[in-house]
């Protein structure tokens, strides 16, 4: 397996949508997804990452990184990581670890001083992985608007 970590493109939607469906309850509307991806792409503080198996062309992982401003202390940005998914067929093969290394390096380039990872409480297997790569669990609040 040969992996390439890169910014997602709207051409990826046919492969990205089913991958992200492993996180959600239904597929996204491809047109709406394209609109949102184009908006993210125009924002230099957002990075929609995909991991591609270059031998097969499969998208085997994705996550969204967002650098946002902080007004405390040194006023350095914070990296938020959300929508993390590794395709079930690729779990345990280094895809997730590689995606986090990539996005954390991007965050360092943005001068982020720490990272916040958002994950659903029911994803206990993923939480074991996050703990193994140095993330600590903190209870938080979530409200759908």
Asked if residue 141 is part of any domain, the answer here is no
Q: Please measure the distance between the N-terminal and C-terminal CA atoms of the chain and give it in whole angstroms.
A: 41
Question: Are the C-beta atoms of residues 93 and 53 closer than 8 Å to each other?
Answer: no
- Tell me which of 80 and 143 has the higher pLDDT: 80
In a domain, 139, yes or no: no
SS (H, E, C) 3-33: EEEEECCHHHHHHHHHHHCCCCCCCCCHHHH
The per-residue pLDDT for range 20-31, each reduced to its tens digit, is 999 888 999 999
Comparison of pLDDT for 129 and 55, the residue scoring more = 55
Is residue 143 one of the residues assigned to a domain? no
Residue 33 lies in a domain: yes
**Structural domains counted in the chain:** 1
> Can you give the CATH number for the domain in which 14 is found?
3.40.630.30
Residue 140 is assigned to a structural domain of this protein: no
Q: What is the pLDDT of residues 60-118, one digit of tens each?
A: 999 999 999 999 999 999 999 999 999 999 999 999 999 999 999 999 999 999 898 88
Asked whether the beta carbons of 112 and 78 are under 8 A apart, the reply is yes
The predicted model scores a pTM of 0.90
Residue 137 lies in a domain: no
């Amino acid at each position: 397996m040969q992996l390439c970590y890169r910014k997602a493109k709207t051409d990826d939607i046919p492969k990205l949508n089913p991958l992200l469906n492993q996180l959600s309850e239904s597929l996204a509307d491809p047109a709406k997804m394209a609109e949102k991806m184009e908006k993210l792409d125009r924002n230099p503080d957002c990075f929609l990452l995909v991991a591609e198996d270059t031998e097969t062309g499969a998208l085997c992982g994705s996550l969204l990184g967002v650098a946002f401003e902080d007004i405390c202390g040194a006023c350095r940005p914070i990296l938020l990581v959300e929508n993390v998914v590794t395709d079930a067929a690729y779990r345990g093969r280094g895809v997730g670890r590689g995606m986090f290394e990539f996005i954390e390096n991007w965050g360092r380039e943005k001068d982020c001083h720490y990272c916040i990872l958002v994950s659903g409480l029911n994803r206990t297997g993923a939480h074991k992985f996050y703990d193994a790569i140095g993330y600590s669990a903190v209870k938080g609040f979530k409200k759908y608007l």
